[in-house]
A and B are shown apart, each in its own frame.
Chain A
Amino acid sequence: MSSNISEGSPLVSIRDLHFSRAGRTIFDGIDIEIMRGKVTAIMGPSGTGKTTLLRLIGGQIRPDQGTVEVDGEVVHKLSREKLFQLRQRMGMLFQSGALLTDLTVFENVAFPLREHTDLPESVLRNLVLMKLEAVGLRGAHGLLPRELSGGMARRVALARAIVLDPKMVMYDEPFTGQDPISMGVLVKLIRELNDALGLSSIVVSHDVRETLAIADYVYVIGHGKVVGHGTPEEISNTDSPWVEQFVKGLPDGPVSFDYPAPEFIDELMHGAES
Chain B
Amino acid sequence: MAIENADIEKIAVLARLQVDPNEINDYTNSISSILSLIDQMQQVDTNGIEPLSNPHDATQRLREDIVTCDNQRDAFIAIAPATQDGLYLVPKVLD
Verify that A and B bind, or say they do not.
no
Taking Cβ atoms with an 8 Å cutoff, the residues of B that contact A are: none
Taking Cβ atoms with an 8 Å cutoff, the residues of A that contact B are: none
